[in-house]
A and B are shown apart, each in its own frame.
Chain A
Amino acid sequence: MTVAIPMTERQEIPVRTNVRRPRGAVIGIAVAATLVSTLSACGSGGASATAGPSGTLKWASSYFPTHWDPVVGGSGAQFRELALVYASLTRTDESGKAVPDLAKSWEYNSAGTEVTFHLREGLKFSDGEPVDGAAVKAAIERAKTQKNSALFGDLTSISTVTATGQDVVVHLSQVDHQIPQLLGQRVLQVASPKAAQDPAKLDQNPVGAGPFVVTQVVPGTKAVLKKNPGYWDAANIHIDNVELTSAPDASTVVSGLQTGVYNFADLTPSQADAAKKANLDVFVLPGFNASNISLNVNKAPFNNEKVVDAVRHAVNRKEFVDKLSFGYGEATDQPFPEKYIAYDPQSKNRWAYDPEKAKQLLAEAGFKPGDIKVDLVIPDAQPASEIVQSQLAAVGITVNIKVDKNWAKPFFAKELTLSLYGTTGRDSAVQTLTAHFGPNGPLNLSTPYQPAGFDAAVAKVRQTPLDAPDYPEVLRAATRAGLESKALVFTYSPPNLIAKSKSISNLPKNPAHIDWTGVTISGS
């Protein structure tokens, strides 16, 4: 979501490989797809009479998956689309807590160094492979070792995995009570081990045990899916078909919804007004979005602490909220929204907006206005960059905006000096913290820098069970330690804004996830 910051969570460099097929095969697939959908429609005719109304979800997404292999796709925003196909070990409920998905239950050993997941019985991937301990073990190991894995950095706590029947035992290298929270939709969507033997093929033809099965993928453009009758919670999935389309230009999405080309789409805040006028259902899905300015403290001028402090004081968060979110977002100086358990109230306004102080700091560091010139490199032209430019100009730092279509490569290689990023958050607060502030965090532009005491604070969170009474305080202490990082200045929390046709019933308020459980589509 959050298209106001269009590069939200593109963790991987999208390499699109178009597979050329002979025309005959394409026609064959199309015919097969039509046949299959017709047959399944006939087959489910009786069932849908009892299961309530059903229909086709026509979803236009700004985050159409560039990769269908969850290991390559990573924890960014595209996991929501991949969750149509893949079930994960755990999922989160409306409070953000891990609840059973493929695993029906789990327990830690008393030392907290081992967690055993018990999988549901009798499930199969859509290619007929059984969903068992071996499959989950293979999935975790693949995420840890596959060369182009975007997830291995999140799995450092896991040393080995053993599987017996429907049980998976995850052995940890350190006490870590975040594992069930971690192995949810963002990190452990489980693919069929047979299909995953050829990861390049899986990346084009996903095979999972999720609520839907892919019948066609047109890379970068469109995916057609149908309901998976073998999904463990199939009784609560009331959507028969899904057409997932890559959203065109933001300004045309509302007319697409109005004319029925789509019935569900994420929106930029500037389009919310038009969507409401078009009598669409506009709502904000709760989430953990946070946008930030990324600084590289290994490079001048940000290797000077006073310059970093000047930037911290130069940022007027209210302007971001007012001009970018059209009343739907809020200011934040942390990677969490204010009501979230990991938000540290003590750190609020740690570096308040104070342009005079920023100027004074720059003067103390020996810089006259205009002395500092720095390139702000971003993947596409976005209003947020112009706000950063004008706010830094106001304190005497000259920012030159550079649009680089190939931005992801230098950003994740930590070669840039100044950039912008927006996270959609993580289900495990620890994962959010380490991704932003950890020495190798993908969102830490200043690798290997990390704030003092951060390591110890995070270790302490890992060691604290989530239901322990002191968990919130320990977690907030880690947030506090992380926020000392000179590499990130948080600005505002953009909304997960969605417009849908009124024929689609309300979605579960599952924070940052798009959950189709129980959702119905009437009269389509």
Chain B
Amino acid sequence: MPRRVLSLVSGRISVAILLAIALLAVFGPLLAPQDPLATSPDTLAGPSGGHWLGTDYLGRDVFSRLLDGSRISVVGSLEVALMALVVGAIPGILSVYLGRAFEWFTLRLADTLVALPFLLFAVAVTALLGNGITQAMFVTGALVSPLFYRVARSATLAVARSQYVEAALISGASLGWVVRRHVWVKVLPPIAVALAQTIGVGFVIVSSLTFLGIGVQPPAPTWGGLLASDLGYLSYQPWAPFAPALLIMATVWACNLLADAIRDVSGEAGRALANTRRAAANQKANQTAAGGRA
């Protein structure tokens, strides 16, 4: 599937952006040209050779803070997505097989979680468990997990009731084998779509929380936190919110684009799409080849 995703322009763009962001998350703190926490008397300065994005209210280099802050944002959104995946997808698949009681219970639980506003809940949890991004992210992950639960369950249902699975079961295949051989492959693409989208949602959540000053302790920089502090000094640096806002936007956009690309290339529709493209490409190649000969 990765190869098929990369065959699409949108897939290539999104992967390129996300790779760049991932590199920032891993190496950002090392790449930062200056100490992101070092204050200087030169406060609220405009962009210059020394400070590409100017300095903040304590004279710290904004570019360095942006690079340094990328890790928290990326790790936070991955935490949300992975938590949601684990908490949602596994019970989603199992709900089809583990009997009516388990099915009923998990369905109602998913309904309940959907009803809770996750941003408010994250705020409440940090008040309860202490101000840390990981607590907030795990709770948020649990609250968005019904998405994975529903997606995994509906994909599993379609497979479990198909004739070839019934045939396999009649032939004596074990449940575990069926799940590994048939269910998993069918369930994976929709989950991948949901995952890519959830990472995007995770970015928005992390940025919102850090914007509100929740989950991080000052002076640790975050994209949302930078955005929030910039707002207090708009009359001095009206352009300042653009950099963090642009980063957040680009990342979320790339995640959604990747989700689209995965959807486009997976399943029956995806195979059809890939085939038409291949056919079109072949036709074009033939034409050029023919043209060249003429």
Task: Verify if B59 is at the interface (C-beta below 8 Å from A).
Answer: yes
Let me know if A403 and B219 touch, CB within 8 A: no
Task: Verify if A277 is at the interface (C-beta below 8 Å from B).
Answer: yes
Interface residues of B in 103-144 (CB under 8 A from A): 127, 131
Let me know if A389 and B219 touch, CB within 8 A: yes
Could you give, for residues 371-397 of chain A, a 1 whenever the CB lies within 8 Å of some chain B CB and a 0 otherwise? 000000000111101110110000000
Measured CA separation A92–B59 after assembly (Å): 41
Let me know if B43 and A322 touch, CB within 8 A: yes
Measured CA separation A271–B231 after assembly (Å): 10
CB distance from B226 to the nearest CB of A (A): 13
List residues of chain A with CB within 8 A of the CB of B39.
Answer: 319, 323, 386-387, 390
List residues of chain B with CB within 8 A of the CB of A38.
Answer: none
Chain A's closest residue to B225 (CB) is A381
Let me know if A251 and B232 touch, CB within 8 A: yes
Let me know if B235 and A401 touch, CB within 8 A: no
Let me know if B233 and A270 touch, CB within 8 A: yes
Measured CA separation A403–B219 after assembly (Å): 11
Of the candidates B217, B233, B234, B236, the one whose C-beta lies within 8 Å of that of A400 is: B217
Measured CA separation A233–B231 after assembly (Å): 43
Let me know if B131 and A403 touch, CB within 8 A: yes
Of the candidates B57, B131, B218, the one whose C-beta lies within 8 Å of that of A270 is: B57
Of the candidates A249, A387, A401, A402, the one whose C-beta lies within 8 Å of that of B58 is: A387
CB distance from A248 to the nearest CB of B (A): 12
Task: Verify if B165 is at the interface (C-beta below 8 Å from A).
Answer: no
Let me know if B234 and A274 touch, CB within 8 A: yes
CB distance from A474 to the nearest CB of B (A): 41
Measured CA separation A322–B41 after assembly (Å): 8
Chain A's closest residue to B126 (CB) is A405
Let me know if A268 and B232 touch, CB within 8 A: yes
Task: Please indicate which of the listed interface residues B39, B131, B213, B234 has the most CB atoms of chain A within 10 Å of its own CB.
Answer: B39
Q: A401-B218, A402-B217 are in contact. Are A383 and B41 (CB under 8 A)?
A: no
Let me know if A383 and B127 touch, CB within 8 A: no
CB distance from B33 to the nearest CB of A (A): 19
Measured CA separation A405–B126 after assembly (Å): 10
Of the candidates A273, A383, A390, the one whose C-beta lies within 8 Å of that of B235 is: A273
Of the candidates A273, A323, A381, the one whose C-beta lies within 8 Å of that of B59 is: A323
Task: Verify if A235 is at the interface (C-beta below 8 Å from B).
Answer: no
List residues of chain B with CB within 8 A of the CB of A273.
Answer: 235-236
Q: A322-B41, A322-B43 are in contact. Are A381 and B234 (CB under 8 A)?
A: no
Task: Verify if A250 is at the interface (C-beta below 8 Å from B).
Answer: yes
Of the candidates B41, B57, B235, the one whose C-beta lies within 8 Å of that of A277 is: B235
CB distance from B108 to the nearest CB of A (A): 30
List residues of chain A with CB within 8 A of the CB of B38.
Answer: 390
Q: A270-B233, A383-B58 are in contact. Are A323 and B43 (CB under 8 A)?
A: yes
Let me know if A401 and B57 touch, CB within 8 A: no
Interface residues of A in 260-306 (CB under 8 A from B): 268, 270-271, 273-274, 277
Task: Verify if B37 is at the interface (C-beta below 8 Å from A).
Answer: yes
Could you give, for residues 306-343 of chain A, a 1 whenever the CB lies within 8 Å of some chain B CB and a 0 otherwise? 00000000000001001100000000000000000000
Measured CA separation A94–B127 after assembly (Å): 44
List residues of chain B with CB within 8 A of the CB of A251.
Answer: 231-232, 234
Interface residues of B in 38-63 (CB under 8 A from A): 38-39, 41, 43, 57-59
Chain B's closest residue to A391 (CB) is B39
CB distance from A499 to the nearest CB of B (A): 12
Measured CA separation A156–B57 after assembly (Å): 44
CB distance from B285 to the nearest CB of A (A): 58
- B contact residues, total (Cβ < 8 Å): 20
Chain A's closest residue to B231 (CB) is A251
Chain B's closest residue to A250 (CB) is B232
Chain A's closest residue to B41 (CB) is A322
List residues of chain A with CB within 8 A of the CB of B234.
Answer: 251, 274
Measured CA separation A305–B34 after assembly (Å): 35
Measured CA separation A387–B37 after assembly (Å): 10
List residues of chain A with CB within 8 A of the CB of B236.
Answer: 270, 273
Measured CA separation A269–B15 after assembly (Å): 44
List residues of chain B with CB within 8 A of the CB of A249.
Answer: 231
List residues of chain B with CB within 8 A of the CB of A270.
Answer: 57, 232-233, 235-236
Interface residues of B in 8-38 (CB under 8 A from A): 37-38
Measured CA separation A381–B58 after assembly (Å): 14
Let me know if A390 and B232 touch, CB within 8 A: no
Let me know if A405 and B57 touch, CB within 8 A: no
Measured CA separation A273–B218 after assembly (Å): 26
Task: Please indicate which of the listed interface residues A322, A381, A386 has the most CB atoms of chain B within 10 Å of its own CB.
Answer: A381
CB distance from B216 to the nearest CB of A (A): 9
CB distance from B12 to the nearest CB of A (A): 39
Let me know if B43 and A386 touch, CB within 8 A: no
Chain B's closest residue to A389 (CB) is B219
Measured CA separation A401–B218 after assembly (Å): 6
List residues of chain B with CB within 8 A of the CB of A404.
Answer: 131
CB distance from B241 to the nearest CB of A (A): 11
Could you give, for residues 198-223 of chain B, a 1 whenever the CB lies within 8 Å of some chain A CB and a 0 otherwise? 00000000000000010001110000
CB distance from B56 to the nearest CB of A (A): 9
Measured CA separation A277–B236 after assembly (Å): 11
Measured CA separation A319–B40 after assembly (Å): 9
Measured CA separation A382–B228 after assembly (Å): 12
Taking Cβ atoms with an 8 Å cutoff, the residues of B that contact A are: 37-39, 41, 43, 57-59, 127, 131, 213, 217-219, 231-236
27 contacting pairs across A/B (C-beta < 8 A)? A250-B232, A251-B231, A254-B235, A270-B235, A271-B232, A273-B235, A273-B236, A322-B41, A323-B39, A323-B43, A381-B213, A382-B218, A383-B57, A385-B218, A386-B39, A386-B219, A387-B39, A387-B58, A390-B37, A390-B38, A390-B58, A401-B218, A402-B131, A403-B131, A403-B217, A403-B218, A405-B127
Taking Cβ atoms with an 8 Å cutoff, the residues of A that contact B are: 249-251, 254, 268, 270-271, 273-274, 277, 319, 322-323, 380-383, 385-387, 389-390, 400-405
Given A251-B232, A319-B41: 4 more A-B contacts, CB < 8 Å:
A270-B233, A271-B235, A319-B39, A390-B58
Q: Which are the 8 A-B pairs with shortest beta-carbon distances?
A: A274-B235, A386-B219, A251-B231, A381-B218, A273-B235, A381-B213, A390-B39, A401-B218
